[in-house]
Structure 1
Amino acid sequence: MNHITFCFDVVSPYAWLAFEQLPQALRGLSWRVDLRPVLLAALLKHHGQLGPAEMPGKREWTYRQVLWQARQLGVPLQLPAVHPFNPLPLLRLALACGSEGLVNRHVAETVLRHVWTSGGADANDPARLAELRQRLAPARDPDSDEVKAELRANTDAAIAAGVFGVPSFLTDTHLFWGLDGLPLLRARLEGDPWFDGPDWHTSAQRPAQQRPR
């Protein structure tokens, strides 16, 4: 069976919305989805970027947009008390419940809901994290070197595959980014020939003018 790798970080509200919409985007298609946690901060650092919530103006727009999109999609979403926050405890907890860098849908949904459907609570509140860990009962220690290395390996592999943000969807030959990339992903999986044509393959093959100094 063909498969899609869904790269996500729980710090991203778009990852939560895309996670909820992915089953609908894949309805009627036979594709396995591998859920792979990655560290968005490391992707941004590699590419020399800031996250949208780290830039004044864009930060406010991001929150307004995701709240609107959630409303339009009928997906529950409440902004956590603090954002951005350090997602490492949640990413490592998720990976400690899985194996070989992957997590199952229940684990991914549980950690994402912990952040985005909490009624505005702090995602890193120690009591909430302890309760979540007890509920998920990870087979491995989330703070182990093994789990930490797994998250680094996931992130390094995503960077090597060209991933620059989350959510990202990797097929055998194409990368799709963002909640609004789901219609493109669907079209590709349905065999739309556009994705093998010049508009896809030559779009980046043009020089960029140097920025004025």
Structure 2
Amino acid sequence: MYDPTVARLTYRALLGRRRALILFALPLLLIVISVAVRALSGVDDQVASDLLGGFALATMVPIIGVIAGTGAIGPEIDDGSVLYLLSKPVKRPTIIVTKLTVAIAVTMAFSALPTFVAGMILNGNGQQVAVAYTIASLVSSIAYAAIFLLLGTITRHAVVLGLVYALVWEALFGSLVAGARTLSVQQWSLAVAHKAADGGDLVTSDVGLPAAVILLVVVTAGATWYAGQKLRTLTLAGEE
């Protein structure tokens, strides 16, 4: 279920000059802000948790997921080049799984690593804050990549819709509106992070761990399956 050629082409598309600049921008901003906050306020576990939760997990990770997930397949569908790929003897589920794997890897690399570095800068992993939010970033990267890869297969406006989801639902409603938190990838990943932080008060979630794990698996598997089904409907003539 993994094709090296498809993976290589996808990595090349995602890490091209213009897209790579966008991918580097938010992690760099996170690091710069972390350095400034540490210089101004010193070591503060609560400040570290607020910054990693409010900016890194709620904003940076989903936006990078949008770029990686939609960019893994959306442009190929838009310009018709995916039809060349579909003409090759590669099973369509294999194409989706390969592209999802690449999208997950890119999202993790550009979100989890900067989150860990920022956490170490802010409070040196005091109360396991850096590790907890890094785990949350890794977990959420999987779900976001699957969701936004699916968007890339079903609409030409995937980036716009993905950004609306990331900035409005996850960053705003998912953080502030109690009822919406249950349906937030951010909150699901925080439930896993809370466990990793030994149940501390700095990393909390409105969703219990069993429910969070089930929802993460169901959403990731469901989005991947449906993306495969949508790709199956594409014909070499480009008609659905």
TM-score, structure 1 normalization? 0.29
Which is strand-richer, 1 or 2? 1
Q: Which has the higher contact order (CA 8 A, sep 6+)?
A: 1
TM-score, structure 2 normalization? 0.27
Which is helix-richer, 1 or 2? 2
